[in-house]
Amino acid sequence: MVALAGGVGGAKLADGLAGCLEPTSLTIIVNTADDFTHLGLQISPDIDTVTYTLAGLADPERGWGRGDESWAFMETMAALGGPTWFRLGDRDLALHHFRSLRQAQGIPLSSITAEVRESLGVRPSIVPMSDERVRTIVSTDEGELAFQTYFVARKCEPVVKAIRFEGIDAAGPAPGVLESLEAADIVIFCPSNPWVSLDPILAIPAIREQVGRKPVLMISPIISGKTLKGPAAKMYAELGVEPSALAVARHYEELLSGIIIDEVDAHLEETIRSLGIQVKTDQTIMRSRSERVQLVQSLLEFSRSVLMKEDAQ
Ligand code: FO1
C-alpha cells in the first residue's frame, strides 16, 4: 500500500496505517513543496511531521515538532532580536542541522530521510516526493508569498488567488517513489490539503501517471464545509469553489475509485456516487490513536470492497 501525505492530517492517517499493516508493505510518499531554508537550515516540515508521528515523538497538541521539546534556542534568538516566527525546538533543531550537514555533503533528501527514519526506529518507508527542490508559491492579495510565509508568518490570512509549484518542471520522483507505486495494490490519499499537500506530489507527471494506473482511495479532509486544521476550506472558497467533500471528490475525479466522507456529510453521498466514485460514510475525525486505527480498519474494509468491484468490472 502507498499513502500520499502532507503534514499533520496526513501523518495521523499514516500512523494509523503503520499500526495496522506489515511495516514492509507500507510506503508513505510525502510532500516536499513546503520545504524551505530558514536560519541557514534545510527544513522539511511534512517529512518531519510524518517521521515524528510514526516514531511516537510528535507533539500531540501542535501535531508538528516534538512533544519532549525545550525552547532555549528560540528564547535566545528572541533575546537577540532574531526571527522567531517559525518555531524550532531545541531537539528538533538537531534534526535540521543533521539534514543540512548531510545535504552539504551531497547526500540526497531521500537518503537522509531514510537515515533519520531508521535512527528513530520507524519501519515503514517514508519517501520524499522528489530529491529536487520544489517550492509552493501562493499568489495572494498581498502578492506572491513563499508557502511558510503565507502559512506560518501570515497565518493563512491573505486571500489566495493562485498556487504554483516552483521547480516542478525540473523535478522527478525520488528513488523508491515509482517502484513503490508500481508494486502497490492500492494508493491512499491521506486527509491532507489537496491544494498544497497532495497536488504538489501529483504535479510530478511520472507520479500522476503511475497513480492513475492504480485504484485510489481517499479520506476527505473537508468535513461539513470545514477543515479541522489548516486552510484547505478557505483556499477552496477563495479559489471560487464551495468547500465540501464533494469539491474534494471533484478535484480528484479522474483518479479516485472511492472516497470516505464524514457521516455528517452523508447527504453528499449520491452526488459523489454519480461521478463514478464509490463512497463510504464514517466518523473521520482522528482525536486519538485508537480513532486513527478505527478509521484505517474502515478504510481497509472499504479498499477490499472497492478492489472486488474493480476486479468484477
Ligand atoms: N507551524 C506553525 O504553525 N508554526 C510554527 O512555528 C511551525 C514550526 C515548525 C517547525 C518545524 C516543523 O517541522 C514544522 C513546523 N510547523 C510550524 C508546521 C509546518 O510548517 C506546517 O504544518 C506545514 O508546513 C503544513 O503542512
Q: 45, 144 in Cβ contact below 8 A?
A: no
Q: Residue 211 and residue 12: Cα distance in Å, rounded?
A: 22
pTM for this prediction: 0.97
Task: Determine the pLDDT at residue 101.
Answer: 98
d(CA 44, CA 109): 9
Tell me how far apart the alpha carbons of residues 133 and 83 are, in angstroms, rounded to a whole number. 24
Q: How high is the pLDDT of residue 230?
A: 87
Measured distance CA(123)–CA(129) in Å, rounded: 18
* DSSP bridge pairs for 309: none
- For a ligand 1 pocket test, name from 84, 86, 163, 234 the mutation site with the most ligand atoms within 8 angstroms of its C-beta: 86
C-alpha cell of 151?
502559512
The CA angle 64-116-218, to the nearest 5 degrees, is 55
Around ligand 1, the residues with Cβ closer than 6 Å are: 6-8, 34, 45-46, 48-49, 64-65, 86-88, 92, 148, 151-152
Taking only the tens place, the pLDDT of each residue in 39-98 is 999 999 999 999 999 999 999 999 999 999 999 999 999 999 999 999 999 999 999 999
Residue of minimum CA distance from atom 26 in ligand 1: 7
For residue 289, what pLDDT is reported?
84
Q: Which residues of 51-86 are buried (b: 16+ CB within 10 A; e: fewer)?
A: bbbbbebbbeeebbbbeebebebbeebeeeeeeeeb
Distance 285 CA to ligand 1 centre (A): 21
Residue type, 259: I
Q: What is the pLDDT of residues 166-185, one digit of tens each?
A: 999 999 999 999 999 999 99
Of residues 140, 173, 176, the one with CA closest to residue 155: 140
pLDDT of residue 313: 78
Write the CB contacts of 12 (distance below 8 Å, at least 6 apart in sequence). 53, 63, 191, 286, 292
Mean of pLDDT values over 31-43: 98
Distance from the alpha carbon of residue 152 to the mean position of ligand 1, in angstroms: 7
- Per-residue pLDDT tens over the stretch 233-283: 999 999 999 999 999 999 999 999 999 999 999 999 999 999 999 999 999
Strand partners, 137: 146, 164
